[in-house]
Every structure is written in structure tokens, then in C-alpha cells.
């Protein structure tokens, strides 16, 4: 055996999981074979065994499935996967029913398949540490717990009790696990695990799983219970409303839970295996595993960070502009222990920016989720001011003023000299090229873009933009600063609109173009939702302000004119310009955009849209509309890759999902291409280009970049 050490001494059989060449233990094929061999050996040694201990030689107990192996699966591999899963469960059942007490010594995290390994034990002992995590996160990766996790959690917690831990992938620490009855004993450290296990084995020579007891009853009742049945009648509809039918994993998990609760234990295990075998080879599962595991870990491990020694964390950061964005950044910093100077043109405006942190924290205090002391400590870290002198000694200064080049230049020159000797300056611009803004700086090599997304307290992504002169140290420090805030950094090179704003613009402007073609606005919005975008394109345009889009359009025209060129506006941009300049519809903040915003009432689409734009004879196909919204964004992302604005697939996928709400089921804007299949995607783009124009044309150099960056497994 290569991944498991089997030892039998003094009547105790110990299985120590230790996958070679890996920092964690996984359910790789070798481990599956080794588990079968170990269980067969225990069957031979049964008479000499008093108890069995499951342990790990790693710093964690067990990480779960071999996800790289999963990425290599093809649709035709489903039957083989089913057989493999069933063999793992057969081994678990042999352990459980051997008639010998089995103890799992949980020295660290046990997630997914790792938690299912732990559930094979009759008794689970864990180190009492709040940072250790247990649970079943498979749904977040487009999978379901299929190695007995669903069946056992339902039988331990009941149908309703298990839902958060299966359908919502809720994780839990050892103490919560103890309270739930999922862990039976806590010890202070790893050295105490084995003695506690041996003591329990000695005290419990006969052990069985709860579901194997003759008097077992499912907590809360089975689906036959009228109360449970009543809740289950609405559960699928509620789930469908959340997933919009785009995410099969939660639906498969619920089906497995309910169907399994109506049959005997072993049949329930087979039901679970069938659902997993079907799901694990699906495109959605591969897309989500690729992005939410591999791409996310690539960013967390700093693969986009330039090589620069040391880890940076600023002690004091200045923010210029105390509007919603500046106030949000101030909160994000203060909540992470960073001293913040929040400057605006008047103390009253700066104080209003600080009040944003009160608005966020007060409900938590009122509900007991935050102590008044912690709230006051957070607020004390924010110093509102109207004086630039208070910025003296800042390690980093971020300007978050209005998107106007002259204004940004003015505040840069006013504040930059106040930086600490090794400090650096950042712009929070969402569209203006950093290289141009850096012309106002005395040290352009220490000038970088740090683009937060609104609302800052909720949005996890931060886009770091390297200007032409920005050095590696500054980019690395910006990367570390973003991680210090608990947010996700992506790194892109400078261009107009960078990556996220540029791709986001194609989404909203494609939606506006549809309105200009005479398609009903309600249909356009529904197409966005059914494609998996969190909000329809017209609603998003209203939220970000139509007037801002027109301001950016005017600025782009002026910039290109100054460079001797001409900017040709898209049909969507021209329609938005009409909305603002002809109809005075500036967006939600102005109370009027594509939607009406009655005071105290629910927003509704502006009735005049029908009269002014809708065409009764306009032909439209819903699948075409959905594809236009997603394919257009994917093509623009690929263009960013070809132009060097993006330098990695993981930044593209994570940035598109967490920055602009590209649907998670796709795995991100580039994974959408790879998941569809490059040839199939390019053919679809050609069809759309023939119908809807040059936005869908994929140039040869873009095709080459798509193929060159294709992930290999």
C-alpha cells in the first residue's frame, strides 16, 4: 500500500493515511485501491483486532476527492465512476459492520470526502481548535457528497437538520460538531488523540453505527411525516428559483436526500452513488471545480503576484474622497485593523464617509453579532479630515474621487508628497488608463491602479492595474494589501477600461442594443437572469448610472480625438446616450433610468420604453439573447487575453465571476469557452456575428490566444 500504512499491535489496527508527494490526503485511485487492500487485511486479522484507529500523517486529516482526476473524466466514464464509488462505500460498510470499534482521530480539517472518511468511524475525536473545519463543501464545486455523506448526515441530523450542511455547504468547527453530535469528543492537541481513542475502544468493545441499531429512528421523521412532507412539497420550487435550473448539484443533492430517506440504508447509498456518477462527469461540475478550486487557489497562493521578497501590510492608509466608495474602503481597512485617514473637501463630507462604517456595523451590534467595544475600536481607526497634512506618513494613499482626469491629477499632486519614504500611491479608477493618470505623479513607478467594486463591504474582488511604469514591488505590495483586507486580488495590465469594466460594458451595452432593436425590455432583462447573471443588463445600467456611461463615452471620444483617432460608438452606447441626453433618464440615483423608482414602492420598467423603442414585428429568440449576453463577454475577455491586458486564465475566470457576476455555472468567462469546446464556441460566435455585428467577430490572434492558454489536465 502506497497511501495507507497498516499496523496491527496490541489488538489495535491503525490505518494511517499518508499520500506520498502530496501535502494532503485525497481519494485518488491509489488510495481507493489501498483502502480495499487494508480492509481485506483487517478481515483476515479480525480475530486479533480489538479496535481500529483512523489517523493521518499530514497536518490535516483528509482533504477529499482527487479533483485533478475528476477534471480528466469524460461523459463515458460515468459507469466506471459509479463502480469506484460503490467500492469505497463497500469498504466503509465493512469497517462499520466488522463488529470492532472504529475511531477517527481528527488532527485537522476533514472536508468533502475527508469528512465522509471520518463518518465511517463509530466515534470521532477532534482537536479543539476553532480554525479546524469539517463539512461537505461539494455543492460549491458543482458536485454532491457521494461517498455516503448525504445518506449519513441525513440519518444523523434528519432531513431538515442536514439541509444547511448539504445544500448550503455549511462548514463547522470541532466545538459546533460536538454540539451537533457529529464529533463525540474534543482533546487539546494531537498528542491526546490516540490515548483518547484507545480509552474509548477499551470502554466500548462492541460498537455500531446509529442507523444499524434496531431501534433507530430518523431525527425529525421521514418524508412520510406530514410536517416533513409539507415542507418538501415546496422545497424543489424554492431551489429552482435560486438555481434557475442552471446548477444541477443542489437539485441532485435534495433528490438524493429525500429518496434515500424513504429506503433502507444500503439502497440509499446506491441512490447517492448514481446521482454523483451522473453529476461528476457533467460540464457544469468541471467548470465549477476548475474555477472555484484550482483558479481560486492559484490566486490565493499568489501566482499573479510579481516575485518580490517579503510580505507587505500597511500600517496607515489614506483615502481621498469619502463618498460611497471611499467610505467603503475605509470600512474594509478599519475592519482589518488598518489605521485609515479619510479625507474630503470638508470635514462634514469626511464625517459622512466615516458614518458608512456605522451604518454597516450598527445592525450587527443590535443583533449581538458585534460588541459595542469592537465597533468603537473599528471606528476609532478611521480619522475623518479635510486637511492634507493628516496624510503625512501614510504607507499608501488611494484616491477615490470622481472619474475626471483633471480632478484625479489635482488630488494626486496634493497628497503624494505626504507619503512615507517607501510609500506608494493608487487610483481607484474603474475606466481611466493608469499610465495616463500616472503622468500627474512624481514617481510613476510607485503609482498603481487598485480598483474596488461597489459596495466594497460586500464585493470580494479587487482589480490591480499595472501601468506602463509601475514596478514589480509596487504591484506585489498592492497584491498583499488586498489580501490583508481579506479580498481577492487579480492583476491586469493597463488599457482603457482594464478588464472588468471593459467586459462589463459589453454585457450592459449588448442589453441596451437589444432594446434599440425593438425587443421588449422585460424580455431583455429575463434573458440576463435566465443566462445566470445576477441582475438584468438594464437594471445594472441604472444602478451604475446611465450618466456615468455617457461621461465615459464622452471621455473616450475626447481621448481618441486627442490621439488623432475617432471612436465609433456601439448601438448600445448610442441608445444609452439618447436615454440621458434626449429623455433625461440618468439612472437610479437620479430617480429615473430604464426603470421608474416610486418613493416607497417597487421599481418597474419605464412605460415609455414600449412606446419609444419596442417594435411589434421585432423577431427574437430567447436562446440567442442569452447567448449574446454571455458570448459577447467571453469574446471581450479573450481579446483582453490576446492583448496582454490579462496574463492568466485564473485571473480572467475569477475576475469575471466575482467582479461582474458572470454566471458561476460556466466557471468564468474563459472557462465558458473551454467548457463549451473551443471549436463549438467559435462556430457559435460566427453565427452571432453574422446576425448581430462585429462585437462577435473573433480575430485570428484572439483564436490563437484562446488555444494557447487552454488548460491541460
Q: Give residues with Cβ within 8 angstroms of 166, minimum separation 6.
A: 136, 139, 144, 145, 149, 150, 153, 154, 253, 257
Q: Give residues with Cβ within 8 angstroms of 502, minimum separation 6.
A: 495, 496, 636, 640, 645
Q: Which residues of 388-401 are buried (b: 16+ CB within 10 A; e: fewer)?
A: bebbeebbbbbbbb
Write phi, then psi, for 234 (nearest 5 degrees).
-100, -15
What does 59-125 look like in DSSP terms, one character per residue? SSSB-BS-HHHHHT--GGGHHHHHHHHHHHHHHHHHHHTSSS-EEEEE-S-EETHHHHHHHTSSEEE
- CA dist 476 and 661 (Å) reads 26
Long-range contacts of 675-678 (CB under 8 A, 24+ apart): 675/283, 675/286, 675/287, 678/706, 678/707, 678/710
577: annotated active-site residue:
no
Q: Are 18 and 57 contacting, i.e. CB atoms less than 8 angstroms apart?
A: yes
Q: Are 160 and 228 contacting, i.e. CB atoms less than 8 angstroms apart?
A: yes
- CA dist 195 and 376 (Å) reads 45
Checking phi first, is residue 430 left (phi over 0); if not, alpha (psi -120 to 50) or beta? Answer: alpha
- CA dist 710 and 706 (Å) reads 6
Which three cell numbers mark 69?
482526476
Q: Are 150 and 144 contacting, i.e. CB atoms less than 8 angstroms apart?
A: yes
Catalytic residue among 19, 116, 399, 573: 116
Q: Which is nearest to 136 in space by CA: 167, 92, 161, 94?
A: 167
Write phi, then psi, for 12 (nearest 5 degrees).
-110, 120
DSSP-derived letter for residue 384 is E
116: annotated active-site residue:
yes
* Edge-to-edge strand list for the sheet holding 488-493: 382-385, 339-343, 316-320, 394-399, 419-427, 447-452, 461-466, 488-493
Catalytic residue among 138, 272, 399, 525: 138
| β partners of residue 452 | 462
Please state whether the peptide bond connecting residue 455 to the residue before it is cis, i.e. omega within 30 degrees of 0: yes
Q: Which is nearest to 196 in space by CA: 300, 84, 106?
A: 106
Q: What SS3 class is residue 342?
A: strand
Long-range contacts of 304-307 (CB under 8 A, 24+ apart): 304/479, 304/489, 304/490, 304/491, 304/647, 304/648, 304/650, 304/651, 305/475, 305/476, 305/479, 305/480, 305/489, 305/491, 306/472, 306/473, 306/475, 306/476, 306/479, 307/472, 307/476
- CA dist 188 and 136 (Å) reads 24
Q: Which is nearest to 84 in space by CA: 27, 15, 166, 168?
A: 27
Q: Are 159 and 257 contacting, i.e. CB atoms less than 8 angstroms apart?
A: yes
Cell 498592492, located at residue: 478
* Active-site residue set: 116, 138
Amino acid at each position: 500500500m502506497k497511501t495507507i500504512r497498516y499496523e496491527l499491535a496490541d489488538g489495535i489496527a491503525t490505518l494511517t493515511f499518508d499520500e506520498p508527494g502530496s501535502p494532503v490526503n485525497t481519494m485518488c485511485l491509489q488510495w481507493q485501491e489501498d483502502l480495499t487492500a487494508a480492509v481485506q487485511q483487517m478481515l483476515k486479522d479480525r480475530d486479533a483486532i480489538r479496535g481500529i484507529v483512523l489517523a493521518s500523517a499530514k497536518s490535516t486529516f483528509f482533504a477529499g476527492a482527487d479533483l485533478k482526476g475528476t477534471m480528466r473524466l469524460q461523459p463515458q466514464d460515468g459507469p466506471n465512476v459509479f463502480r469506484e464509488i460503490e467500492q469505497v462505500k463497500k469498504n466503509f460498510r465493512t469497517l462499520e459492520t466488522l463488529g470492532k470499534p472504529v475511531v477517527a482521530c481528527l488532527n485537522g480539517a476533514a472536508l468533502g470526502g475527508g469528512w465522509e472518511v471520518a463518518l465511517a468511524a463509530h466515534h470521532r475525536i477532534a482537536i479543539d481548535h476553532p480554525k479546524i473545519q469539517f463539512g461537505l463543501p461539494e455543492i460549491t464545486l458543482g458536485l454532491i457528497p457521494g461517498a455516503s455523506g448525504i445518506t449519513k448526515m441525513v440519518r444523523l441530523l434528519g432531513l431538515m437538520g442536514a439541509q444547511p450542511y448539504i445544500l448550503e455547504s455549511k462548514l463547522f468547527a470541532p466545538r459546533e460538531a460536538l454540539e451537533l453530535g457529529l464529533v463525540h469528543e474534543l482533546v487539546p492537541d494531537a498528542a491526546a488523540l490516540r490515548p483518547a481513542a484507545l480509552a474509548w475502544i477499551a470502554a466500548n468493545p462492541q460498537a455500531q453505527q446509529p442507523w444499524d441499531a434496531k431501534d433507530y429512528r430518523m431525527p425529525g421523521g421521514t418524508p412520510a411525516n406530514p410536517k416533513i412532507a409539507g415542507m418538501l412539497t415546496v422545497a424543489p420550487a424554492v431551489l429552482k428559483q435560486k438555481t434557475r435550473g442552471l446548477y444541477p448539484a443542489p437539485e441532485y443533492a435534495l433528490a438524493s436526500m429525500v429518496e434515500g430517506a424513504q429506503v433502507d440504508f444500503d439502497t440509499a447509498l446506491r441512490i447517492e452513488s448514481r446521482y454523483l456518477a451522473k453529476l461528476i462527469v457533467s460540464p457544469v461540475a468541471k467548470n465549477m471545480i476548475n474555477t472555484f478550486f484550482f483558479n481560486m487557489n492559484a490566486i490565493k497562493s499568489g501566482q499573479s503576484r510579481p516575485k518580490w521578497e517579503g510580505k507587505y501590510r500597511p500600517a496607515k492608509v489614506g483615502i481621498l474622497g469619502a463618498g460611497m466608495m471611499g467610505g467603503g474602503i475605509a470600512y474594509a481597512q478599519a475592519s482589518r485593523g488598518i489605521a485609515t485617514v479619510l479625507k474630503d473637501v470638508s470635514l462634514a463630507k469626511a464625517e459622512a464617509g466615516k458614518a458608512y462604517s456605522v451604518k454597516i456595523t450598527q445592525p450587527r451590534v443590535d443583533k449581538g453579532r458585534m460588541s459595542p467595544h469592537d465597533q468603537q475600536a473599528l471606528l476609532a481607526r478611521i480619522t475623518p479630515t479635510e486637511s492634507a497634512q493628516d496624510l503625512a506618513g501614510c504607507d499608501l494613499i488611494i484616491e477615490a474621487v470622481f472619474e475626471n482626469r483633471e480632478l484625479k491629477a489635482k488630488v494626486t499632486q496634493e497628497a503624494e508628497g505626504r507619503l512615507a519614504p517607501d510609500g506608494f500611491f493608487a487610483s481607484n479608477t474603474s475606466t481611466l488608463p493608469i499610465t495616463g493618470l500616472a503622468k500627474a505623479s512624481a514617481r510613476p513607478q510607485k503609482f498603481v491602479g487598485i480598483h474596488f467594486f461597489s459596495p466594497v463591504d460586500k464585493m470580494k474582488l479587487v482589480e490591480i492595474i499595472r501601468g506602463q511604469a509601475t514596478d514589480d514591488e509596487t504591484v506585489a505590495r498592492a497584491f498583499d494589501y488586498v489580501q490583508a483586507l481579506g479580498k481577492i486580488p487579480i492583476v491586469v495590465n493597463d488599457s482603457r477600461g482594464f478588464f472588468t469594466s471593459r467586459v462589463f460594458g459589453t454585457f450592459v451595452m449588448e442589453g441596451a442594443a437589444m432594446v434599440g432593436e425593438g425587443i421588449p425590455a422585460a424580455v431583455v432583462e429575463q434573458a440576463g437572469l435566465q443566462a445566470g447573471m445576477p441582475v438584468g443588463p438594464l437594471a445594472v445600467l441604472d444602478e451604475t448610472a446611465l450618466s456615468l456611461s455617457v461621461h465615459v463615452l464622452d471621455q473616450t471620444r475626447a481621448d481618441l480625438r486627442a490621439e488623432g483617432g475617432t471612436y465609433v460608438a456601439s448601438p448600445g452606447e448610442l441608445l444609452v446616450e439618447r436615454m440621458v441626453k434626449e429623455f433625461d433618464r440618468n439612472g437610479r440615483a437620479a430617480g429615473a433610468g430604464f426603470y421608474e423608482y416610486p418613493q416607497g414602492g417597487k421599481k418597474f420598467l419605464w412605460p415609455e420604453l414600449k412606446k419609444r423603442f419596442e417594435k411589434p414585428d421585432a423577431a427574437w429568440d430567447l436562446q440567442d439573447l442569452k447567448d449574446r449576453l454571455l458570448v459577447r463577454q467571453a469574446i471581450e475577455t479573450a481579446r483582453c487575453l490576446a492583448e496582454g491586458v490579462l496574463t492568466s486564465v485564473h485571473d480572467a475566470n475569477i475576475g469575471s465571476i466575482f467582479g461582474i457576476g458572470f454566471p458561476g455555472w460556466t466557471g468564468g468567462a474563459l472557462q465558458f469557452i473551454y467548457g463549451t469546446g473551443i471549436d463549438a464556441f467559435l462556430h457559435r460566435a460566427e453565427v452571432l456575428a453574422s446576425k448581430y455585428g462585429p462585437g462577435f467577430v473573433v480575430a485570428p490572434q484572439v483564436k490563437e490566444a484562446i488555444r494557447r492558454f487552454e488548460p491541460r489536465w
